[in-house]
Amino acid sequence: MSRFSISALSETKVNRFVPFNRALTVHIFCGTATVAIVFLATLSFLCFYGTLCIDGEQEYCEKLNSEITWTGYAIACFVLLLGVTSSYRHKIPYEVFYTVHHLAFVLYGITVAHTFDIQQRKQSKQRSQTFSWVSASLLFYLCDQAAMYLSYRYHARLVSSSAIKGCSDSNMVIFKMRRPVLFNFKPGQYALHSHG
């Protein structure tokens, strides 16, 4: 979620065609689709290669234990972990969800390593553009975070807080803060609690 970019684009004419106020919904949808695709791809791979291995095809038995397959297992595990913690984000401590969600940066590294296996290292020609795509998106996200940190940062005093119990045992906390001078809410902005 590149919040600074979402906030900036929401003030342009592009906002008429792209609903930036629903960016979180799109993010959740893309995440759910990614988890489903990775799960089904991993399951299909294991079924196909596993069946051939059981039938005596030694080549496929070796591929099940190859370097690129092990990084594939790691990708599948990380994606499933992100999916499970996201699904239960209202039932687990927010700090756990937030920390696990940031393991996506580790997933970036594993995804790059996935195609830099022994076959890739032996060939002079690059057979995958994973590194380029991952690096470009990661760089964009880091620039977005830096721009947000440097451009829009307000300090507000907490006036009051109250806890509300909702349906299905859901809990919500309402914070009332003193509005900072010149502050106008934009999509993508959020609040963090700081001590002191």
In terms of residue numbers, what domain contains 113? 3-151
Task: Report yes or no on 52 lying in a domain.
Answer: yes
Helix (H, G, I), strand (E, B) or coil at 180: coil
Q: What is the mean pLDDT of residues 4-19?
A: 80
Q: Could you give the number of structural domains in the chain?
A: 1
Is 94 within a domain? yes
pLDDT higher than 60, residue 196: no
In a domain, 131, yes or no: yes
Least confident of 29-33, 80-84, 114-118, 171-175: 114-118
Residue 170 lies in a domain: no
Question: Could you tell me if residue 72 is inside a domain?
Answer: yes
CA distance 66 to 122: 15
What is the residue-averaged pLDDT of the chain? 80
Q: Is residue 139 part of a domain?
A: yes
Residue 187: its pLDDT value, please? 61
- Answer whether 73's CB lies under 8 Å from 114's CB: no
Q: Place 64 in a pLDDT band, splitting at 50, 70 and 90.
A: confident
Q: Does position 105 have pLDDT exceeding 90, yes or no?
A: no
